[in-house]
Amino acid sequence: MRGPMAGKVVTQLVKGTDWGDLDVLVLDLPPGTGDVQLAICQELQLSGAVAVTTPSKLATEDTRKGIEMFTSLGVPTIAVVENMSYFMVRVVARSLQWLVSI
């Protein structure tokens, strides 16, 4: 499922579900600035966004574009998380940087 239909389905799921009393609802969205993200921003009142990226240049640039889109729609970015920024080598017993962050 792609495009506007996917955005409508996600919006319907969030609005049509009785979530009870919530302090926080976390939506794990696909990367980018597509129809799902746009529909969520336009249909729901969001308090903020947390962006998750990996250290690769492509992922970081995609995340940057997503943050710019959320900002332009009045949704503040409250945190950026860099996932998979290092890995543990058990023999060495120390963390090694996976990729260089930009």
Are 56 and 99 contacting, i.e. CB atoms less than 8 angstroms apart? yes
CB count within 10 Å of CB 43 equals: 15
Mean pLDDT of 80-89: 77
**102: in domain:** no
Q: Could you list the residue range(s) of the whole structural domain that residue 47 is in? A: 3-97
Whether 65 maps to a domain, the answer reads yes
Which one of 9-13, 55-59, 74-78 scores highest in mean pLDDT?
Answer: 74-78
**Helix (H), strand (E), coil (C) string for 48-99:** CEEEEECCCHHHHHHHHHHHHHHHHCCCCEEEEEECCCEEEECCCCEEEECC
Please measure the distance between the N-terminal and C-terminal CA atoms of the chain and give it in whole angstroms. 33
- pLDDT tens digits for range 36-70: 888 888 888 899 999 999 888 998 999 999 999 99
pTM assigned to the model: 0.73
| 69 located within any domain | yes
- Does 11 fall in a domain? yes
In a domain, 20, yes or no: yes
* Amino acid 1: pLDDT: 64
The total of structural domains in the chain comes to 1
- Asked if residue 48 is part of any domain, the answer here is yes
